[in-house]
Amino acid sequence: MAQAASEAVRNDLAPTGALRVAIAVGPTGSPLWATKDPASGAPRGVTVDLGRALADRLGVPVDFVVYSSSGEITDAAGSGAWDVSFMPVDDERRTKVDFGPDYALGESTYLVAPGSTIAAIPEVDRAGVRVAGVENTTTIRAARRSLRNTTVTGTKGATEILELLRAGGVDAVALGRDSLEDFAEMLPGSRVLDGYFWAVSVAVATPPGRKAGLAFASAFIEDVKADGTVERSFTAAGLRGAKVAPPAA
**Predicted TM-score of the model (pTM):** 0.88
Q: Is the dihedral of CA 153, 158, 163, 168 positive or negative?
A: positive
The mean pLDDT value for 218-235 works out to: 97
Average pLDDT, the chain: 95
How many other C-beta atoms are found inside a 10 Å radius of the C-beta of residue 105? 17
If pLDDT is split at 50, 70 and 90, which confidence band does 248 have?
A: confident
CA distance 76 to 96: 9
Model confidence at 30: pLDDT above 70: yes
Least confident window among 4-8, 80-84, 222-226, 231-235: 4-8
Q: Are 106 and 242 in contact (CB under 8 A)?
A: yes
Instruction: Say if residue 15 is exposed, middle or buried (CB neighbours under 10 Å; 0-12, 13-18, 19+).
Output: middle
Q: Model confidence over 95-141: pLDDT tens digits?
A: 999 999 999 999 999 999 999 999 999 999 999 999 999 999 999 99
Kindly state the DSSP code that residue 123 receives in the 8-state scheme: G
b/e burial code for range 86-97 (CB count within 10 A of at least 16 → b): bbbebeebeeeb
Instruction: Check pLDDT > 60 for residue 1.
Output: no
Nearest to 112 by CA among 186, 197, 172: 172
